[in-house]
Amino acid sequence: MSQALSLPPAATTRKTLTLFDSALIGPAILDAVMKLGPRTQLRSPVMFVVYVGSILTTLMYFQAVAGKGDTKSGFILAISVWLWFTVLFANFAEALAEGRSKAQAASLRGLKQTVSAKQLATPKYGTTWLPVPGADLRKGNTILVEAGDVIPIDGEVIEGVASVDESAITGESAPVIRESGGDFSAVTGGTRVLSDWLVVRVSVNPGETFLDRMISMVEGARRQKTPNEIALSILLVALSIVFLVVTVTLLPFSLFGVAAAGAGKPVSVTVLIALLVCLIPTTIGALLSSIGVAGMSRMMGANVIATSGRAVEAAGDVDVLLLDKTGTITLGNRQAAAFFPAPGVSEQELADVAQLASLADETPEGRSIVVLAKQRFNIRERDMASLQAKFIPFSANTRMSGIDVGARQVRKGAADSVKKHVEALGLPYPPEMARTVDDVSRRGSTPLVVVDDGRVMGVVELKDIVKGGIRERFAQLRRMGIKTVMITGDNRLTAAAIAAEAGVDDFLAEATPEDKLKLIRSYQAEGRLVAMTGDGTNDAPALAQADVAVAMNSGTQAAKEAGNMVDLDSNPTKLLEIVEIGKQMLMTRGSLTTFSIANDIAKYFAIIPAAFVGTYPQLKSLDVMQLASPDSAIMSAVIFNALIIVVLIPLALRGVRYRAIGAAALLRRNILIYGGGGIVLPFIGIKLIDMLLSALDLV
């Protein structure tokens, strides 16, 4: 067994970077310069206007040097340089946000390694295996992984039980159990088997693994714009066009004013460009894409892999959260705990039939029944082949499983399903069973009724445990205005007991996969945004329908594929963080947009009097800021406009703090801070820059 395959320790692979990590700054500066191409610039129309302004003023500077300028060449150069800085600062903000995601992707790529696999000739343990390079494996191949092996690729366990170290991917050091059947059968490439062995059927082709998808998602975070982002971009473009028209029409006004008075100086094109840049919403235009990228990074930091930016955004507006019970609210390894025989049946007889019904049942429930019968009554496992029995597997629709031995039907399953099954055979269903079933259910356990060829034998109690700390977290969700609904295939009483213990707002019991889907659709029809958390194959259709679909990493491949997020920690209350990150992203975008527009209005008052006082001396009375000179006023506004981008980068990346107060209160608060701040700050900032410029005698 090659020990050289061991993975790097989790701590080094999941290193967290500080906001302005020195390792990120250098590359981001370089990247900011690389992003100066026109195609890249065109992605943000607002910044493209600044970009064109920078080029025009540069050209005008050379014209002025040649003696053909409409104003002093030094002034044009200074404006031009600061416009270029404005563009570069915006590029830098984006590059810095992307740098963080890229670092996260790189640490994931570190997990991808060339591993040799043990390919089996037949999908059966004990047959010979051949060493093949992991990259040669294809969907459908079967492989053996043993203690110490790195699992070469994603797959589904078809035989065996083993403990697996998934810390390289999840950061969680406790090993997890992976076994065939049930909801714990998916294994992820890059994780390591700690004990025992597994036979795994490869479920993907190379390049399509979970790790590959994570990497491409983290790297491509920027590429697709979300619907909200597109709407905002349209608003920003519209504002820019309005200001462009306003600025362009100022020139004839100025020329006309000078002609009419027979004195004064018309406004220069440089000043008009400066004015335009100050008026259009450059602050949000520069920071918009970083806000989106940073949101995805924060998800990743919370150990959630989001495969769609739209889902991250929708998370901020979720109204209803649906959770499946087993494996999501509870630990999910329901274990047989007790046998309750029907009248006239001994406990041993019940155990015997229950074991018979579970011989081929590979679910954790089925296996635990076989084990309990062995422990209690030393009933040895019989061989399915020599019994010539036919296996009837469990399905979420029939809610029963068992075997057929010739014409003899041995079954176990949900009480109502078994009752129907017995009555369909025209046999009596003992009324005493209902009491036992209710007693077991009220404890929050799952009752399975066992029936041997129509004769009801008794009840098996399956115990499950509610995950710790879940109650408080649901209370927190309630305070955020999110309704929690538990959906389960279990009966009403069990569901009610677990719902009460976990503290969910509502529950739906005896739900088939179709019922889960229907419930989601009905909420969506009311215009609500639905989040769903699930782990099982039977949750997959519902996950595919939900707006925000969080699959547990411990769950099945089908669930993970149907969802648009995977929680690496498999924590059902992770949605709290997901919602916070989504809300934070929406709020950051809203706050900075408010700030940006308020800011531009303030600049208008600083620049207009200064720019046109040469044309219309009456404007002097509007000059509330008493800036040193018209040139200094315009220069200061342009510098402020550029610097504010840099000042706000930390806020864009870190996000506005989310508080669990009502939406209206939050909105009021943010408008006050970012709208009010946006109006006041430029007056102070521009005045200070103006004083500094004249103190240094620069204008």
Binding annotation for Mg(2+): 535, 539
Stretch that binds ligand ATP, among 61-69, 208-216, 483-491, 606-614 (CB under 6 A): 483-491
Among 400, 530, 578, 586, binds ligand ATP (CB under 6 A): 400
Total residues in contact with Mg ion, by rule CB under 5 A: 3
Among 107, 191, 209, 326, binds ligand ATP (CB under 6 A): 326
Q: State which residue, 441 or 556, has the beta carbon closest to Mg ion.
A: 556
The distance of closest approach from Cβ of residue 536 to ligand ATP in the complex, given in angstroms and rounded to an integer, is: 5
Distances (CA, A) of 38 to 55, 92, 99, 675: 11, 16, 21, 32
Known active-site residue 438? no
Sole binder of ligand ATP in the list 102, 178, 399, 473 (CB under 6 A):
399
Interacting span for ligand ATP (CB under 6 A) from 153-161, 169-177, 249-257, 407-415:
407-415
CB-based contact 181:362 (threshold 8 Å): yes
Rounded distance between C-alpha atoms, residue 500 and residue 452, angstroms: 34
Enumerate residues 484-503 that contact ligand ATP by CB under 6 A. Answer: 488-490
Pairing of strands 192-202, 155-159: antiparallel
Binding at 401: pick from Mg ion, K ion, ligand ATP, none (beta carbon under 5-8 Å per type): ligand ATP
Q: Per rule CB under 5 A, is residue 533 in the interface with Mg ion?
A: no
Alpha-carbon gap, residue 656 to 670, rounded angstroms: 9
Could you write out the DSSP letters of every residue in 326-387? Answer: IIIIB-S--EEEEEEEPTT--HHHHHHHHHHHHTT--SHHHHHHHHHHHHHH-PPPPPHHHH
Cα torsion through 231, 237, 241, 246, rounded to 10: 90
Both tokens assigned to 521: 């659709």
Pick out residues in 510-529 that bind ligand ATP (CB under 6 A). 511
Residue 521 makes CB contacts below 8 A (sequence gap 6+) with: 545
Residue 641 CB, shortest distance to K ion, in Å, is 5
**Apex 579 CA angle, 323 and 10, nearest 5:** 85
Q: Shortest CA distance to 571 belongs to which of 323, 338, 210?
A: 323
Residues in the annotated binding site for ATP: 361, 365, 394-401, 412
Rounded to whole angstroms, how far apart are CA atoms 241 and 239?
5
417 binds Mg ion (CB under 5 A): no
Name the residue whose CB lies closest to K ion.
282
Note whether 569 and 562 are within 8 A (CB). no
> Which amino acid, one-letter code, is at 120?
L
Q: Does 536 bind Mg ion (CB under 5 A)?
A: yes
* Residue from 190, 413, 609, 678 binding ligand ATP (CB under 6 A): 413
Least Å distance between CB 489 and ligand ATP?
Answer: 2
Rg (CA), the chain: 33
CB of 280: closest distance to K ion in angstroms? Answer: 5
538 binds K ion per the rule CB under 5 A? no
Residue 213 CB, nearest distance to Mg ion (Å)? 23
Give the footprint of Mg ion on residues 308-327 (CB under 5 A).
324, 326
Residue type, 512: T
Q: ∠299-302-306 over CA atoms, to 5°? A: 35
* Shorter beta-carbon distance to ligand ATP: residue 150 or 531: 531
Contact 86, 639 (CB under 8 A): no
Pairing of strands 176-179, 155-159: unpaired
Which residues are part of a known binding site?
361, 365, 394-401, 412, 535, 539
Answer yes or no: are the C-beta atoms of 1 and 150 closer than 8 Å. no
Report what 282 binds from Mg ion, ligand ATP, K ion, none; CB cut-off 5-8 Å by kind: K ion
Considering only residues 573-632, where is the footprint of K ion by CB under 5 A? 600
Q: Is the Cβ of residue 179 or residue 600 nearer to K ion in the bound state?
A: 600
If binding is defined by CB under 5 A, does position 240 make contact with K ion? no
The count of other CB atoms within 10 Å of the CB of residue 293 is: 26
Q: Which of 31, 149, 324, 631 is an active site residue? A: 324
137 versus 540: smaller Cβ distance to Mg ion: 540
Query: Which three-class secondary structure state does DSSP give residue 195?
Result: strand
Q: What are phi and psi of 8, to 5 degrees?
A: -65, 150
Q: Which is nearer to Mg ion, 554 or 632 (CB)?
A: 554
Q: Which of 54, 282, 303, 494 binds K ion (CB under 5 A)?
A: 282
Residue number of the CB closest to ligand ATP reads: 489
In angstroms, the CA 395 to CA 400 distance is: 7
Question: Is residue 324 a contact residue for ligand ATP (CB under 6 A)?
Answer: yes
- Active-site positions read 324
Residues binding K ion (CB under 5 A):
282, 600, 641
Residues binding ligand ATP (CB under 6 A):
324-327, 361, 363, 365-366, 394, 396, 399-401, 412-414, 446, 448, 488-490, 511, 536, 538
Residues binding Mg ion (CB under 5 A):
324, 326, 536
